[in-house]
Each structure stands twice: as structure tokens, then as C-alpha cells.
Chains A and B, each alone.
Chain A
Amino acid sequence: MATIVSYTARPRRLTQALLLAFAVVIGVGAYALVGLGRFDEVPADLMQVGVGSAVLAAALQVVVMWRTPYADPVILPLVVLLNLLGIAMIKSVHAANEIYGLRTSASADRQMLWGIVGVVLCLVVLVLLRDHRRLRRYTWISAVVGGVLLLLPLVPVIGDSRNGSRIWINIAGNSFQPAELAKIAFAIFFAGYLVSRRDTLALAGPKVLGIHLPRWSDFGPILVAWGFAMAVLVFETDLGTSLMFFGLFVAMLYVATDRLSWLVIGAVMFLPPAVFAATQMSHVRTRLTCWLDPLSSDNYSSCEQINQGLFGLANGGITGAGLGEGRPDVVPHAESDFIFTSFAEELGMVGAFALLLLYLLLVQRAIRAAVGISDGFGTLLAGGLGFTLALQVFVVVGGVTRVIPLTGLTLPFLAAGGSSLVCNWIIVGILVRLSDAARRPAARQVEGLDAPAAPRPAPEVVS
């Protein structure tokens, strides 16, 4: 006979406070070192940055203690550290551009402002979203909202095209990438949809060559998701966004059904559009050549960005040039698309690997929350959100290091860009809420919640 042993998670709020303080110290230290490296003096606004970060970290700690006392203790420290490191690097690139005047880049102040907005939205999510299962009510609303957001850049007046991709909207001078918000909406929709359909998707259908094929009638949803991804690819000409949405759907299908066949089918279905993009779209074709052979004399000038990024990696070497000592400004978009090579140049391989480990730990915590949570909707949502983070890191870091062709996604929390930073902070708020649900001892799960979680009044007791 088997014995069942249960380990209750401890809240570990003190651990989280100490880790948050540590993260703020490292992040603000990076900011100071950038100033020392570029101008040989401590930045004038170091005090404001330090106090501001400490206040925001304290606010996060207090709200987590109040609203999600059992939440994972390491998610928020990891994210705060990544955000602060990103700000320091954007400052470094901006300062280098000021000194050498090669190009202009986004300023760190703007990123700080977006960071504050992001933290505030994360706090709002934690305060308002008291039970993740409520999100399931908005399954179909999320689908509509996500679809509208995704297709918004195609609207003539507000849509905006940059670097060959039409994934921006422009409202009153502020640009925004609605696909980032659509990502959250679609994760909620997929989770709500798949949790009710997974039995038929997993069990029905013939078996061919050891692969469990689904029934034709179950192909509908994946075809719709595929169609949407294709629409994004064809009309917005952005392979990255299209890949992210289709990948999210296929990964969540796999989590829901535990059938490897969906991964195979998904990969096969993405091949034709990838081939189409590679042959028909000039900017995708350029990226493909730059992936395979960027350094030959024919391609050298057209692949300047990726080449300069590679030289940055080489300049960094093992231990790096030092914060504020490299020349990331020679790489176009060094503060957004190529921020990973900027880090690898200034912190070296040692620092770049530490960054990748921070991401790995963050994704691991999301997946751990998915495993620990007691309802299927929460599992799928946490798994899906964790997977999008992992996919973005893989696509961006793989792209700039020539593992895969370069596509236009952003590195979560590091890259300059308001929409990405704010939306990722919202995702973190949802993940913290999910990790709280996963770790909370079952008997206390009902405490402080109303209608949906608490057992409904018992039907008339028969006896």
C-alpha cells in the first residue's frame, strides 16, 4: 500500500523581501556602474532611481503580503532585477549615442516611466483579480478582444508600419504594439476553450504510425488559429508575432491533451507559411540570408545589424568590456532588438549566462505553478504564459546569436519598449496570482474569496 505524503508550501514572505532588496541593490548598482563607465562619475539621478525602485519594490512586497500571501517568493525579485538591468543597459546605449553621435536611441527615462506604469498595473491585477478562475468567464470575450487587438494595426489611420512590419498603432503620437496585449487575451481564451474541449481533442480519432491523429471535426479550432496566424503573417508581414501566437496555441494544446501528435501537426502546419514568407517577402528573405551567411562580402552591408551584434559578442568575450565601457551604439536598435548583444558585450559570457538563467528560473516558476494548481484552467493559463516568455527569449536570443533567423520579438523586461514592458508586468501579476493558488493549502483556499471559489450554499440536506 502506498503512503501519501504532503508537503505544504511555506509563505516565505521574508525571503521574498530579502530577494527584492538584493535585486534592487544589484539593479541600481548596474545603473551607477553605467554612469561610472561612460562619464567617470556617479549619475546625477542615482538617488531618484534608487529610491524609486525601492519604493516600487516595497509596494509590490506589501500588496503581495496583503493579497497573495502564499505567492511564489522568487518571481517578483527576478522580474524587478531584469527590469532594472534593462534600464541600466538602455541608459548605457543612450549615453554612448550621446557621446559618439552615431544614431539616436530610446532614453532610459522613458523606460523607467513605462516600468512604473507596469508595476502599477501589476499591483492593480493583484488587487482586483482575487481568483484566477474568474478569468474563465471571459473566455469568448477574450477571443474577440484578442482578435480585434491583433488586427488593429491593419486599420488605415492608426496602423503604422516600421521595418517592414505593420504591427504598430499610433494614437496621438504614442505608438503601441497591440499584439502584446492580444497575447494575454489569447492565453486566457485558449485556456478557457481547451479546458472544456480537451477530452475530445485527446481521445477521439484514429492512430496512424504510432501518432494519435485527431478527428477531422476537431481540426476546426487549430485551423482557425492557423488562419489567424497566417493573416498576421500576410497582412502585417511579421513572422515573429505570427510564430508566437501559433506556438502559444500548439503548446497549450499539448499541455491540455498530452498528445505529441499536436506538436507534430503544428510544426508541419507552420512549414508552408514559413516557406512562403522566406520566398515571397523580401525582408524575411534578407533575414534568412543573414542567418546563413552574414559575413561574406556580398551580404556584409545588408546584414550590418547582425554582424555588428556578433562583433559585440566577440568584443565582450568571457568577462565583458564592463558596464558602460562597451560600444553597443554601433549596433542598430542596440537598446531594443539587440539588447542581448549589448549585455553580452558589456557583461561578457559570464553575465549573459546569468541573464539566461534568470529567465530560465522565471519560466520554471511559471511551469511549477502550472503543475501545482488544482484546476485545469489555471494549469493551462500558467503553462501558456510561461511558454510565451520562454518562446520570446528563445526567438530573440536565438536570433541575435544566429541559432535561428532573426525575427521581430522583444526580450521580455529588458528591451526598450513600453507596450512589451507593461504587458509583461500584467503577465507577472497573473502569474503571481496563479502561483498563490498553486501553493495555498487547500483548506484555506476559500478564505477571503467570494462567490466563485467558495462552495455554494449546500442544496437542501437530505437525511
Chain B
Amino acid sequence: MSELTLVALRLGFVLALWIFVIVVVLVLRNDLFGTTVVTRSSRDPRRDQRPAAGPPGGAAAPAGADSGSARTDPEVTATAMVVTAGPLRGTSLTLGSTPILIGRAPECTLVLDDDYASNRHARVFQREGEWMVEDLGSTNGTLLSGRRIDGAVPFRPGAQVRIGRTEIELRRGPR
């Protein structure tokens, strides 16, 4: 094999190594995930890229409907549970058919780092197409719109549930 071919191969190898690094960086650049909190006034340029999350039931909800009229409708399916206050502010969970357990225990779906929350504090689940929130016998209680709840009560989009320092809300559809 001639010297020239060998030099070309060597340069090609180092080039390939760098191309690999650059490709990995490009993959990571397109691979953002997680949640961000933006103020409502600012437009989010990445909004259009966001994939439609959630089960098909959520997509079937009137996507273009005005939120004012839809808020009073109990039939509408919520598709995401978001944390609006507390240390986990900004966290969002996609709702499926499985119940969501909230508390300090590591096996919970939403693990709270909050001294005022119990290990297994509350549960959010679906019953007959409606989302319910249930207090699991917590020490400090679960507040729905400021009132302490007892057992399972309906959890409508827009209503706020307070657990310790954490507030959660249901949201319709990915917005």
C-alpha cells in the first residue's frame, strides 16, 4: 500500500472521529426534553415542534375550543397534570389511564420533596371518564380550591389541589 493512501486513510480516520463527535452533538441539540416555565406574554418559538403528548382521548377533545367555555364543561378530558407552585413548579405529567400517586415515597409517580406531605399523600385517578382526587389519609390533608377534602372528589381542570407547599392543576390537551 502506498504511503499516500495510508496518509489519506489516517486523515480520514481523524475526520471520521470528529464527524462522530459532531453528529452526537447535533443529535443532542435536537433532543431536548423536560419542562420549561415561560411567562404567558412571551411567545415560545419552540411551541410548534412539541409533539402531541397524551392518549388519543385527549387529542379528541375540542382542541380549538375557546378555553373559557370549555372550562365549565365537566365532560372534557384532562390530558396533563402540572405543578404550579412549590419546589417542583413546572413539572408536568401526561395523564393516561393509570392512577397517579403523589407523595414523598420513592415509588410515587410524582415524588414530592416537601416536609408537609405524607409518604403516600393523595391519588389522582379516572372514574367513569372523570378525573378524581383522593386523599390517602395524609397528616396535613389535601386542599381542593382551599377546602380540605375527605375521600375522593372530582378534580376538574382549572381547580387547584394543594398538598403541603405544592399546588397541582389539570390541563386540557397539550398547549
Q: Establish whether residues A6 and B28, one from each chain, have CB atoms under 8 Å apart when the complex forms.
A: no
Which stretch in A353-361, A390-398, A410-418 binds the other chain? A353-361
Q: Given A19-B24, A26-B20, A463-B152, decide whether A4 and B33 contact each other with a Cβ distance below 8 A.
A: no
Q: Is B6 an interface residue (CB 8 A)?
A: yes
Q: Is A372 an interface residue (CB 8 A)?
A: yes
Q: Establish whether residues B34 and A372, one from each chain, have CB atoms under 8 Å apart when the complex forms.
A: yes
Which stretch in A146-154, A179-187, A289-297, A453-461 binds the other chain? A453-461
Cβ of A342 to closest chain B Cβ, rounded Å? 15
Q: Establish whether residues A443 and B9, one from each chain, have CB atoms under 8 Å apart when the complex forms.
A: no
Q: Establish whether residues B34 and A442, one from each chain, have CB atoms under 8 Å apart when the complex forms.
A: no
* Contact among A30, A195, A361, A374 with B21 in the assembled complex (CB-CB below 8 Å): A361
Q: Establish whether residues B10 and A33, one from each chain, have CB atoms under 8 Å apart when the complex forms.
A: yes
Q: Given A372-B33, A452-B107, decide whether A7 and B1 contact each other with a Cβ distance below 8 A.
A: no
Q: Is A113 an interface residue (CB 8 A)?
A: no
Tell me, in angstroms, the Cα distance from A348 to B13 when the chains sit together.
12
Closest Cβ neighbor of A458 among chain B residues:
B123
Q: Is A43 an interface residue (CB 8 A)?
A: no
Q: Is B44 an interface residue (CB 8 A)?
A: yes
Q: Is B86 an interface residue (CB 8 A)?
A: no
User: How many chain B residues touch the partner (CB < 8 A)?
Assistant: 72
Q: Establish whether residues A319 and B14, one from each chain, have CB atoms under 8 Å apart when the complex forms.
A: yes
Q: Is B101 an interface residue (CB 8 A)?
A: yes
Q: Establish whether residues B174 and A377, one from each chain, have CB atoms under 8 Å apart when the complex forms.
A: no
Residue-wise, chain B 25-40 has the 8 Å CB interface mask toward A (1 for contact) of: 1011001111111111
Contacts of A320 in B (CB 8 A): 10, 14
Contacts of A209 in B (CB 8 A): none
Contacts of B83 in A (CB 8 A): 4
Q: Establish whether residues A462 and B150, one from each chain, have CB atoms under 8 Å apart when the complex forms.
A: yes
Contacts of B150 in A (CB 8 A): 462
Contacts of A374 in B (CB 8 A): 91, 109-111
Closest Cβ neighbor of A374 among chain B residues:
B111
Q: Establish whether residues B96 and A444, one from each chain, have CB atoms under 8 Å apart when the complex forms.
A: yes
Q: Establish whether residues A33 and B47, one from each chain, have CB atoms under 8 Å apart when the complex forms.
A: no
Tell me, in angstroms, the Cα distance from A245 to B37 when the chains sit together.
37
Contacts of A172 in B (CB 8 A): none
Q: Is B137 an interface residue (CB 8 A)?
A: yes
Q: Is B95 an interface residue (CB 8 A)?
A: yes
* Contact among A6, A23, A372 with B20 in the assembled complex (CB-CB below 8 Å): A23
Q: Establish whether residues A33 and B9, one from each chain, have CB atoms under 8 Å apart when the complex forms.
A: yes
Cβ of A455 to closest chain B Cβ, rounded Å? 5
Q: Establish whether residues B95 and A443, one from each chain, have CB atoms under 8 Å apart when the complex forms.
A: yes
Q: Given A8-B53, A133-B107, A443-B98, decide whether A81 and B20 contact each other with a Cβ distance below 8 A.
A: yes
Residue-wise, chain B 90-113 has the 8 Å CB interface mask toward A (1 for contact) of: 111111111111000011011101
Q: Is B136 an interface residue (CB 8 A)?
A: yes
DSSP class of B's interface residues: helix, strand, loop or mixed?
mixed
Closest Cβ neighbor of A460 among chain B residues:
B151
Cβ of B94 to closest chain A Cβ, rounded Å? 4
Q: Establish whether residues A361 and B94, one from each chain, have CB atoms under 8 Å apart when the complex forms.
A: no
Q: Establish whether residues A351 and B14, one from each chain, have CB atoms under 8 Å apart when the complex forms.
A: yes
Q: Establish whether residues B98 and A446, one from each chain, have CB atoms under 8 Å apart when the complex forms.
A: yes
* Contact among A7, A29, A358 with B35 in the assembled complex (CB-CB below 8 Å): A7
Residue-wise, chain A 1-24 has the 8 Å CB interface mask toward B (1 for contact) of: 111111111101001000100110
Q: Is B50 an interface residue (CB 8 A)?
A: yes
User: How many chain A residues touch the partner (CB < 8 A)?
Assistant: 69
Contacts of B20 in A (CB 8 A): 19, 22-23, 26, 77, 81
Cβ of B33 to closest chain A Cβ, rounded Å? 3
Tell me, in angstroms, the Cα distance from A199 to B115 when the chains sit together.
9
Q: Is A298 an interface residue (CB 8 A)?
A: no
Tell me, in angstroms, the Cα distance from A6 to B38 when the chains sit together.
11
Q: Establish whether residues B17 and A26, one from each chain, have CB atoms under 8 Å apart when the complex forms.
A: yes
Q: Is B146 an interface residue (CB 8 A)?
A: no
Q: Is A386 an interface residue (CB 8 A)?
A: no
Query: Considering the complex, which residues of chain B in the window 8-64 have a beta carbon less than 8 Å from any beta carbon of chain A?
Result: 9-11, 13-14, 16-18, 20-21, 23-25, 27-28, 31-40, 44, 46-47, 49-51, 53-55
Q: Establish whether residues B31 and A6, one from each chain, have CB atoms under 8 Å apart when the complex forms.
A: no
Contacts of A5 in B (CB 8 A): 35-38, 44, 46-47, 50
Contacts of A453 in B (CB 8 A): 107
Q: Establish whether residues A361 and B16, one from each chain, have CB atoms under 8 Å apart when the complex forms.
A: no
Q: Establish whether residues A2 and B10, one from each chain, have CB atoms under 8 Å apart when the complex forms.
A: no
Closest Cβ neighbor of A203 among chain B residues:
B115
Q: Can you give 28 A-B contacts (C-beta < 8 A)?
A: A3-B39, A5-B38, A6-B53, A6-B82, A7-B51, A9-B31, A9-B33, A10-B31, A26-B20, A29-B13, A30-B13, A36-B9, A74-B24, A78-B24, A81-B20, A322-B6, A354-B14, A361-B24, A364-B28, A365-B28, A374-B109, A375-B106, A376-B113, A441-B53, A442-B94, A444-B96, A455-B101, A461-B152
| A positions within 8 Å CB-CB of B | 1-10, 12, 15, 19, 22-23, 25-26, 29-30, 33, 36-37, 40, 73-74, 77-78, 81, 133, 136, 195, 199, 319-320, 322-323, 347-348, 350-351, 354, 357-358, 361, 364-365, 371-372, 374-377, 439, 441-446, 452-456, 458-459, 461-463
Given contacts A19-B20, A361-B25, 15 further A-B contacts (CB under 8 A): A5-B36, A7-B50, A8-B94, A12-B27, A26-B20, A78-B24, A319-B11, A322-B6, A354-B21, A374-B91, A375-B111, A376-B111, A442-B94, A446-B98, A455-B98
4 closest pairs, A vs B, by CB? A443-B96, A462-B151, A9-B33, A442-B93
